[in-house]
Amino acid sequence: MNYNPLFTFVVILAIFITLQSCEKDNETKISSYNSSESHKNGENCMSCHTSGSSGEGWFIVAGTIYNENLSSTYPNATVKLFSDTLVVDLVATIEVDNLGNFYTTQNIDFENGLYVSVVGANTNNKMLGKITSGQCNSCHGVTTDRIWTK
């Protein structure tokens, strides 16, 4: 059998292209009121929803909102991110879905830290300190209380 370098090159190129097409691209995923597409309440969403992982979309901010008793999720709240403590300079608004989860692949700059407000029907709860990461469930429900509103 004769060695054909062109054939070998084409086979190697085809394998390379096939392997590259298996890498997931970042999909746009943003939670919305009344949607019920989310899952795994209370878990760190970014354990799956990051580049190279199995989740659809690479989340920048994600977490779960609970009721004031911290016993069940709170649907259709709103998460707001501000660049200042006076909650004047709004950076992003993220709708909480019907299952109590919120997430976005929208590019949000955390370089200088952001302040968080969670708005329910009757309360507007604010975090006192700045956040520099959108992995809300990596702390809340693990080392600090769950995020809640009413």
pLDDT attached to residue 55: 84
Pair 80, 104: CB distance under 8 Å: no
Q: What is the mean pLDDT of residues 50-57?
A: 86
Give the mean pLDDT of the chain.
87
Q: What is the mean pLDDT of residues 143-149?
A: 92
Pair 105, 27: CB distance under 8 Å: yes
For the chain, what are the domain ranges? 26-148
Tokens of 54: 């199995």
Q: What is the mean pLDDT of residues 99-126?
A: 94
What is the rounded CA–CA span in Å between residue 66 and residue 21? 39
Contacts of 126 (CB under 8 A, 6+ apart): 87, 115, 116, 117, 118
pLDDT attached to residue 101: 96
Q: How many helices (H) and strands (E) does the chain have?
A: 1, 7
